[in-house]
Amino acid sequence: MKQFYVIGQPIEHSMSPAMHNEWFKQHQIPATYLAKNVSPADLKETVEQFRKDVNGFNVTAPLKVDVMSYLDEIDPLAKEIGAVNTVINQNGRLIGKNTDGIGFVKSLEPLLNKPITEESILIIGAGGAARAILYSLFHLGATNLTIANRSLERATSLLNDQMARKVQIQSLADAEMNLHKYSVIIQTTSIGMHPNEGLVPLSPMKIKKGTVVSDLIYNPYKTAFLIEAEKNDAIIQNGIGMFVNQGALAFEEWTGIFPNIEKAIKQLEINLGGHTC
């Protein structure tokens, strides 16, 4: 039986095993997917063991950067992002990829009226998730991109030379005043998670009707930022779609099959107390 894992710390509450094992069951693939708590200190030893007896694995915080040092090959996009979340084992040769950003874009596209290349996009935050989404959007041809962050220096540090000529940097205050200029707004920070469910990264009052507003948080199911954006007739999305799509892309890398994401999304919505269509 093939073996797959997700590693990170903490990892006990990961929803990935249930999702991947259901996909294996649906496609009658003899495989199992488990969560393994791995500290940075134990990462090298774990990767070398996986090289011998594991067919592939996902990587989550805080290991996505460190794991790159122990792989044989890194996909160009993952190299640009500077993080790996999916590893494929090809006969002992470990290949790292990053499906986070592309997974997010796949979850976003059904909500858009125009190609991603024609959207005016604001990314709030400048952490690892923002970087993965920024580089993936740029890779797919989006050029009307703005990053808003508390620290302008940190936002600027995300950009490579090519992006520096095309991606705008704004303070949160300036972005708040200019929200009406954007057709897509992506909230990537942890603001709105427990224990700060009532907080928002900036006021969404100037969001125009029909703007697609995505918050990568999915617990709570609907953040305060999404609730306020919805009052302005925005089209809202939480982070469930990104989570499922990045997992589905990893599953496809391992099996050659892109699984049924609709069932997985509905099950997660039920588990998180949300609503399904």
- Which residues are part of a known binding site for shikimate? 14-16, 60, 85, 100, 218, 246
Which of 2, 25, 64, 263 does the annotation list as catalytic?
A: 64
Query: Binding site residues for NADP(+), as ranges?
Result: 125-129, 216, 239
Query: Binding site residues, as ranges?
Result: 14-16, 60, 85, 100, 125-129, 216, 218, 239, 246
Amino acid at 188: T
| Residue 64 known to be catalytic | yes
Amino acid at 7: I
State the DSSP string of the chain: -EEEEEEESS-TT-SHHHHHHHHHHHTT--EEEEEEE--GGGHHHHHHHHHHH-SEEEE-TT-TTGGGGG-SEE-HHHHHHT---EEEEETTEEEEE--HHHHHHHHHGGG-SS-GGG--EEEE--SHHHHHHHHHHHHTT---EEEE-S-HHHHHHT--HHHHTT-EEE-HHHHHHTGGG-SEEEE-SSTTSTT-TT--SS--TTPPTT-EEEES--SSSS-HHHHHHHHTT-EEE-THHHHHHHHHHHHHHHHS----HHHHHHHHHHHTT----
| Residues assigned a catalytic role | 64
